[in-house]
Amino acid sequence: MEMEGQLWRRCEEKLALTTVESTDRRRIYFQALASARALIVNPSTSEETISHVLETLVRSLQVKCDLFLVLHIFKLLSDIALHRQHFLHTVTDIIRPYTVVEENASQLNAHVLSMLFRIAESDRSLLSTTLELREDLALSFCFSPSVTVRVWFLLNVDKFHIHPRLLVTLLLGFMKDPYPSVRRAALCVLASLSKFTDIEGHGLIAECYDCAVELFLDIYEFVRSAAVRAVSKLGEILGALGSEMDSAGWFDILFVQLCSMVRDMSMEVRNEAFVALGKVRLVAEDLLLQSLSKKVLGITKEKKIVGQSSTKEYELPVSGAAGVFVHGLEDEFYKVRSSACNSLGMLTAFSDQFASGALTLLMDMLYDDSTVVRLQTLETMHHMAMCDRLRVQETHIHMFTDCLMDTSFLIRYQVRKIFRLMKLTVPEMFTSLIRGLLTNLETYPQDEDDICSVLFNTGRSHGNFAVSFLKEVAHEIEPSCDGDLKFDRARVTALLVLALSAPLQHKEHFCTIPRRIFLYAIPLIGRISRILGDQLDQEALFTYLSHCSGSFNFAATELSSREDKFIDPWVKEVCVATSFDEHQQKLTTSHEEETDAVKVILKTVAESWPLIHSGCTGEVLKTLRVCKEELTTIVVDSPESISMLAFTSRYIRVIQLIAEACENFLPSKKVRFVRMERLNLLLEKLEASLRELRYRFLGLTIKEELHVLELMLFSCAMRLSKVEICCHQTTLKRMRGMISHVEILCGEGSTEPSIFVKELQKLFSQAGTFNDESSSDPFLFKRSLGFFSLKQVEIHGRFKHIKADIDVPDNDSENPLTFISGLPVGVSLQISLYNIVSEDRLWLKMAVGEYTQYVFLDLFLFDGCDEVRRTTFTVPLYRTPKVISFVLKACIGRECLFDDVDFVKGQPGPKHELAFLCKEKEVFLLNGGS
Amino acid sequence: MAIECLVLGAGQEVGKSCVIVSIGGKRIMFDCGMHMGYLDHRRYPDFSLISESGDFDKALTCVIITHFHLDHVGALTYFTEVCGYHGPIYMTYPTKALAPLMLEDFRKVMVDRRGEEEQFTNDQIMECMKKVTAVDLKQTVQVDKDLQIRAYYAGHVLGAAMFYAKVGDSAIVYTGDYNMTPDRHLGAAQIDRLQLDLLITESTYATTIRDSKYGREREFLKAVHKCVSGGGKVLIPTFALGRAQELCILLDDYWERMNLKIPIYFSAGLTIQANMYYKMLIGWTSQKVKDTYATHNAFDFKHVCSFDRSFINAPGPCVLFATPGMISGGFSLEVFKRWAPSEMNLIALPGYCVAGTVGHKLMSGKPTKIDLDKDTQIDVRCQIHQMSFSPHTDAKGIMDLVKFLSPKHVILVHGEKPKMATLKGRIQTELGIKCYDPANNETVHIPSTTYVKIDATQAFIRNCLIPNPELLKSSLEGNSDIGCTNTMSLPLPHLRDEKVAEGILVMEKTKKARAVHQTELLPMLGMVENKLQLAYCCPVNMSSLEHFRSHELNEQSSLSVGDPSSSMKMLLSSDQCSWLRLLLLKLSHSLAEGTNIQQFPDHLQLESFRISVCSNATCPYKFKEDVHASAALFFCCSWLIGDEKLAWRIISVMKDWNSSTAPRQPTS
């Protein structure tokens, strides 16, 4: 309070100064205003002071001072209104007189008005009640001699109540303004108008249109690009207004006029022009065809489009459209190429012939340098396929399959999306398409699901081709002479998927595909049904396979090849009765088996607690080691099981650490000399491992989570029960957080917390808040340790393991990257993330000796879905040491958001502790400067 | 002031580009090239036409070189060192870096290989380059007080530029060679929309229209791939700078994409050095190269290895870039001799070949045998692939540029005569721009824009810069109150063509003319404003006023001019006011709604029109016939000339009362 008063007094003094030299006065004034502003925006400033400030400001407004200061005073007034709601109306009343325009609207008027607009954002009623934004006021802004005011008016034109017709008239005038920024603003307003659909306004809009077309010749490129946008918009409105016959001709005129801008020298203008071309809603075929060829076509030679708007007669040569898309696709800037691609696709809807010509041009764009353009091209083609305009020829197929080799996941995905819709006319096309997909599978195994799904689709829609193709490759599926069934290979799975897709649509193919192929597919049923996902469920698939493979004596007639019949209950019954039943069950239950095996191991682990308690650490560690080895013998294939094993092995590791740590807390028989650092280190390791357990697995059940939390609490309690170990405050804070989390979980799951947890809860409630370091009693914690007992964790087994991979291609100690000490060095990293959800905050930690640098990983940079995300990007390491060579350790960590303990304050980097998702990757760097 | 354009070279031909442009007393030489087809005096432009005396320093203001090709820069050393020009020379940075390489290479070929007499020495080349001022793109250079020049990106080759020159109000652009479509390593030409009197443009491909470059690239790659996959060798004869880099980027990309392992060779010589320049001058390359060079310099070719002579006979497929481009001799000819006899091999010719060279023979129909000289004859069994990877713009590009710049005149140079004539016709008919195609040593005179400089007052300028409020207001005012209530009836104001700067041009003695705003004129001339006022004394039948009854009374009135105030003081009767009120009532009854007549004690007023009762029997504004009329009350009306229409409307209304009630018609 005192501070505040003092500050304000000093401020007031300065504002009252009148005797000082004018230049000096201005400076002092500014200082005073700055401190006044500080008072205003500070929420704890008292109301009293604020009203003083307000009074003084109003007083100084009345004294004539220079405009610059007045603007600042107004700024402060609006700050008061915005920060102190109840002053809002007072301030509004004070500043409203300044909106009254005397002769010509000045910058001050505009300034005050825009402040009022801002204030009005918080109170909607303000504008309508206190301000009359009538046309006469608008006009006075229009005719202001100040360019700034005119531009301001145009930017805020929607706030004024101007009749649309008057507005258009005004804009028409503004388009002739000597200042380009005003012209542009007028064009922008014009382009954003959309309500002129009345026929009477037609003439006015046509006039605006003509005026905008004239601005195509403007000297300033930003005016030209705004003009293109306005013309596109107005053209659309005018086209909509005209009659059916008229509008066709009108759109042709619009098209040719826009075409005249695609050869502009400014990239922005060209881009605008192409964007606008794509929006034309109807174009004559000859015009479109002409736009694909730079040479003037025979049919369009001398031809002219004649049209009439209400103001003007047009006569434009068709040759004006010559080759616009050729130019667009050849453009130097990827933005223009991409817009041209998109527009080309949009226009294919009007003509089949144009579509096939456009496709020829688009094929070349598949090899473009820019990923954006390639992606846009594929999207365009997909759009064409959706509109049934994609006529792919045999020569095109290899270009598509080349794209499947692209490093970008999105591009490959988009190509396959087109494949799903593609109509293949000859078997050669089919063959090369399938071969392309198979190569794709070999190069990028992660695409397997999508590839198989495409194979399934394509096979179904082109059954004949599929059958003949399968005949060619049948030998690949067959077991080789040494009896090695290569079923585990992705390629074989893919071929099997193709094989079983063929007869689905055409049942005559049953006989043409060797029955044993279907038999081969049966063991892979889980995998295949996962791949096909929504298209065929596992049961139906099994029925279908059993039927096709002829394992059962079904009458072929009773089985329709339609999918929905497969789930027929009768068929199901038969299935269950078959000898394959067990096999199938085994497949589906394999996960449970694995879970059982893991449970056995976990039981062993839990049983070791009494041994730990009794101090037989050596034996316990041996047992745990064996348990770990046993884990490796469990064979798994599903990702869930792999995650489960990862969880279990980490869990065992935690218990190992606990066992080692516990040794130090037991009432020992022998006197032990333990160095504190060792215990500290051990506890740190334990905490890190627990963090991994908690933050690296998705889908933990409440019981699992409670168990992990209890272990964490235990490790914290261990830490607190040793006087010698510091960081009590942080640990206490963390424990409190965990205990409340446990409470929440128990409330949800209606599970009772263990005795140990209850004891801790009691401890915390008794001791209040442990605000003081001294208030925490290590002996209390030591006592609580006695209540802990390790129970068997009830594992459920449906985890998702969060992990990450970092790789630095072509880098090892033999091939180091070069750097120049003192200058930043870019390190190119290939990062794969597994099971990361979009809310996660990930950090890349780069450590060089003592120096650590954190880089936030924006998930937008990654391709792919939650399961797998990948990217390659270059990270700068800013502080390179002055050495000949060094090793950079890179690691990815997930921020532990549950931990509300601040990790590092005031530094760029994570706000919470990190759970590291991968091993540290070593990057070797060599000084290139020396 | 006229612009004079003397074409010393490249007039209706390709070679020795050299154009002298005189604008406003300044003479600029654009390009100073040599003709590669001649060995005699025709090789250089005829410099004697510039100055008889040979004092070029006086005759020329500056020399501007657009790019480093010999047909644009080849004669420069000769001109400066032999002819003795010492004035300023301008070119872009890359041109300054690369031009000496080209000149030196040419000198070596001339002297060492052909054994010609030396025209200039290496030292002279260096001496000449010292006089060069390097300029950057879009940098405005003030050559002297009046002459400004500016370079714009032209594509074509590294460092090629178009030059804009401006003297006073006249401005021209000389394009040099340019390319309107980007290629693999260079961008498209880029220029602002300028106000030009003259555009001098190249017209190498005056009638050709090229289609998509992708198709051309595809064919080239297909041919090369087919050859190397068949185990053949590919020879690509190119110039060291330009096409070689472009094709190499293309091949390198393709090799990467197709994962080919076949070596691509660059024959040593200029090329290695040239590649280095390309790597350094990234700022002058295309957007794509600029965007990516931080991670990968497009000129760091992955698959390119340097060549060793022993590789010529080594077995296995390969691709070789060799100089010179037209197989006119040197290394490319040597390799050609070895590789041409095998069907497996391919010769890919990327561009234009001058008549007489082996390249030209290969391009004009597939020969089976080529005679190199009297003794050697080569069997040509290999495949030939022709490409049109030209760095010149095509006809459409020229038209596009001309259309974009819309100059007042166009001069075509650097092309073949018949084709230029066709293009000239197109420019004149399609774009309506005057076009010329002068031959060598011809001069074209074109008129240029001349602006008369005048002063302008502040008020005038301010008035020009704001939208014309008077016009807008007057068109809006009449209906602004209606506008709010009944907007549909709002008449559309037309202000499109009315909005011009209004002012008065004043020519003071011995001073410059200056534009002033209307309001400033009188104080400036020290005059008092005189207003022209018109007056008419209108008789109105009293009874018609009093009772709105008809009485027969009708008098003929006439118009007179003079001082209206003379009758004002004469007050006839006490009911003068009531007469006026009656008149007002009646007038507002008869006139259209919305006219707001103001009433004053002694007169009525609408705009500048005022009416008062006239008691002067000999009022000068009465017509003689009217004087005798009885029972008529006279109203003196006066108005300014601006409101004449309004005045006559009211007077006719007033008279109508008389005539409508009177059977007697006016007598005159």
| Same-domain status, B64 and B186 | yes
Same domain, B437 and B467: no
Q: What is the pLDDT of residues B203-251, one digit of tens each?
A: 989 998 888 888 888 889 989 999 999 899 999 988 767 788 888 888 9
Residue among A165, A264, A330 whose CB faces B181 most closely? A330
pLDDT exceeding 90 applies to what percent of chain A?
Answer: 14
Q: Which of residues 481-510 of B touch A (CB under 8 A)?
A: 483-484, 487-488, 490, 492-493, 495-496, 499
pLDDT band (50, 70, 90) for residue B562: very low
pLDDT of residue B189: 94
Q: Where is average pLDDT lowest: A413-422, A798-807, B72-81, B594-603?
A: B594-603
Both tokens of residue B634?
A: 């006279």
Statement to judge: residues B517 and B566 lie in one domain = no
Cβ–Cβ below 8 Å for A169 and B495: yes
B186 and B158 within one domain: yes
Most confident of A114-128, B49-63, B535-549: B49-63
The CATH number that applies at residue B253 is 3.40.50.10890
pLDDT tens digits, A411-469: 999 999 999 888 888 888 999 999 999 989 888 888 888 898 898 888 888 888 888 88
The catalytic residues of B are: 202
Are A219 and B192 within 8 A, CB to CB? yes
Same domain, B98 and B178: yes
Most confident of A520-524, A768-772, B481-485: A520-524
Question: Residue A376 — very low, low, confident or very high, per pLDDT cuts 50/70/90?
Answer: very high
pLDDT at B490: 41
Clarify whether residues B382 and B398 are in a common domain.
no
Q: Write down the pLDDT at residue A573.
A: 36
- Is B464 an 8 Å CB contact of chain A? yes
Residue B602's domain comprises: 533-667
Number of residues that make up chain A: 930
**Are the Cβ atoms of B182 and A294 closer than 8 angstroms?**
no
Q: Same domain, yes or no, for B227 and B335? A: yes
- pLDDT score at A583: 42
Chain B residues with CB under 8 Å of A163 CB are 483, 487, 490
pLDDT band at residue A262 using 50, 70 and 90 as cut-offs: very high
Binary contact (B188, A332; C-beta < 8 A)? yes
| Digit-coded pLDDT (tens) for A4-57 | 888 888 888 877 766 556 667 778 888 888 888 888 888 888 888 888 888 888
Residue A383, Ramachandran bin (φ over 0: left; ψ between -120 and 50: alpha; else beta): alpha
The verdict on B340 and B472 lying in the same domain is no
Helices A427-443 & A448-461, crossing angle to 10 degrees?
170
How far, in whole angstroms, is CA A383 from its chain's centroid? 23
d(CA A119, CA A61): 19
From the list B394, B403, B483, which residue is nearest A166 (CB)? B483
Determine how β-strand B161-167 pairs with β-strand B2-9: unpaired
Per-residue pLDDT, A19: 57
B contacts of A261 (beta carbons < 8 Å): none
Tell me which of B360, B386, B412 is where a domain ends: B386
B461 touching A, CB under 8 A? no
CB contact under 8 A, A173 and B462: no
Do B467 and B367 fall into the same domain?
A: no
Q: Pick the range with the lowest mean pLDDT from A774-778, B256-260, B577-581.
A: A774-778
CB–CB contact A145 B466 (8 Å) = yes
Mean pLDDT, rounded, of chain A: 80
The arithmetic mean of pLDDT across residues A556-572, rounded, is 40
Q: Which of residues 373-402 of B touch A (CB under 8 A)?
A: 394, 396, 400
Based on its alpha-carbon atoms, the radius of gyration of chain B, rounded to whole angstroms, reads 41
pLDDT bin (cut points 50, 70, 90) of residue B471 is very low
The predicted structure's pLDDT at residue A309: 67
How many other CB atoms are there within 10 angstroms of residue B352's CB atom? 17
Residues sharing a CB contact under 8 Å with residue A905, sequence separation 6 or more, in sequence order: none
Mark yes or no for CB contact B288/A369 under 8 Å: yes
Instruction: Give just the sign of the alpha carbon dihedral A703, A709, A715, A718.
Output: negative
Assess whether pLDDT exceeds 80 at residue B17.
yes
Provide mean pLDDT across the span A387-407: 87
**Exposed/middle/buried for residue A372 (C-beta within 10 Å: 0-12, 13-18, 19+):** middle
Is A264 at the interface with chain B, CB within 8 A? yes
Please count the CA atoms within 13 angstroms of the CA of B398 that sit on its side-chain side.
Answer: 35
Neighbours of A211 (CB within 10 A): 25
pLDDT tens-place string over residues B476-515: 444 433 333 333 334 444 444 445 567 788 877 767 778 8
Q: Are A504 and A543 in contact (CB under 8 A)?
A: no
Out of A346-350, A528-532, B409-413, B561-565, pick the least confident: B561-565
pLDDT band with cut points at 50, 70 and 90 for residue A198:
low
| C-alpha distance from B380 to closest chain A C-alpha (Å) | 32
Select from A101, A133, A169 the residue whose CB has the most chain B CBs within 10 Å, as the one to mutate to test that interface: A169
| The pLDDT of residue B446 | 92
Average pLDDT of the residues of chain B: 80
Among the listed ranges A66-80, A823-837, B133-147, B468-482, which one has the minimum average pLDDT value? B468-482
Among the partner-chain residues A203, A293, A874, the one whose CB lies closest to the CB of B211 is A293
Q: Are residues B427 and B477 in the same domain?
A: no
CB A150 within 8 Å of CB A144: yes
Nearest-by-Cβ selection for B193 from A219, A326, A370:
A219
By DSSP bridging, strand B18-23 and strand A842-848 are unpaired
Say which residue, A495 or B432, is predicted with more confidence: B432
Q: Is the pTM of this model over 0.95?
A: no
Contact A837, A878 (CB under 8 A): no
String of DSSP letters for A711-724? HHHHHHHHHHT-TT
The whole-number average pLDDT for the span B506-534 is 78
Q: Within 13 Å and on the Cβ side, how many CA atoms surround B471? A: 18
Domain holding B21: CATH number?
3.60.15.10
Which tens digits make up the pLDDT trace of B263-276? Answer: 888 876 656 677 78
pLDDT category of residue B475 using cuts at 50, 70 and 90: very low
Tell me the two tokens of residue A624: 């745990």
Residues of A in contact with B476 (CB under 8 A): 139, 166
Among left, alpha and beta (phi > 0; psi -120 to 50; other), residue A161 is beta
At A582 the pLDDT is 44
The fraction of chain B above a pLDDT of 90, given in percent, is 30
Model confidence at A560: pLDDT above 70: no
Higher pLDDT: A590 or B596? It is B596
Which residues of B, range 198-227, sit inside 8 Å of A by Cβ? 209-215, 218
Measure A554 CA to nearest chain B CA, in Å: 51
Examine the pLDDT at B140 and tell me if it is beyond 50: yes
Average confidence (pLDDT) over A771-800: 72
pLDDT band at B29 (very low <50, low <70, confident <90, very high): very high
Is some CB atom of chain A closer than 8 A to the CB atom of B196?
no
Nearest CA in chain B to A146: B466
Nearest residue in chain B measured CA to CA from A208: B496
Q: Is residue B315 reached through a cis peptide bond, with omega within 30 degrees of 0 on the bond before it?
A: no
Least confident piece of the model among A183-192, A240-249, A267-276: A240-249
Residue A552 neighbours by CB under 8 Å, 6+ apart: A546, A574, A578
User: Domain check: are B232 and B290 in the same one?
Assistant: yes
Nearest to A105 by CA among A57, A163, A50, A149: A149
Q: Are residues B487 and B546 in the same domain?
A: no
Residue A173 to residue B396, Cβ atoms within 8 A: no
DSSP conformation letters of A258-318: HHTTTT-S-HHHHHHHHHHHHH-S---HHHHHHHT-SSPPGGGTT-EEEEE-SS-EEEEEG
pLDDT recorded at residue B474: 45
Q: Which tokens hold the place of A793?
A: 């964790």
Tell me what percent of the residues of chain A surpass a pLDDT of 70.
Answer: 83
Contact map slice: A 788-817 vs B, CB within 8 A? none
pLDDT band at A724 (very low <50, low <70, confident <90, very high): low
- Domain edge (last residue) among B509, B525, B541: B525
Q: How confident is the model at residue B557 (pLDDT cuts 50, 70, 90)?
A: very low
Please state the domain count of chain B: 4
* 3-class secondary-structure state, position A322: coil
Q: How many CB pairs under 8 A join A and B?
A: 117
Check: CB of residue B226 under 8 Å from CB of residue B235.
Answer: no
**pLDDT score of A201:** 61
Give the C-alpha separation, A712 to A728, whole Å.
Answer: 15
Q: What pLDDT was estimated at residue A555?
A: 36
pLDDT-derived band at B198 (thresholds 50, 70, 90) equals very high
With b for 16 or more beta-carbon neighbours within 10 A and e for fewer, the A331-360 pattern comes to bbbbbbbbbbbbbbbbbbbbbeebbbbbbe
Question: Looking at the predicted structure, is the pLDDT value of residue B92 above 90?
Answer: yes
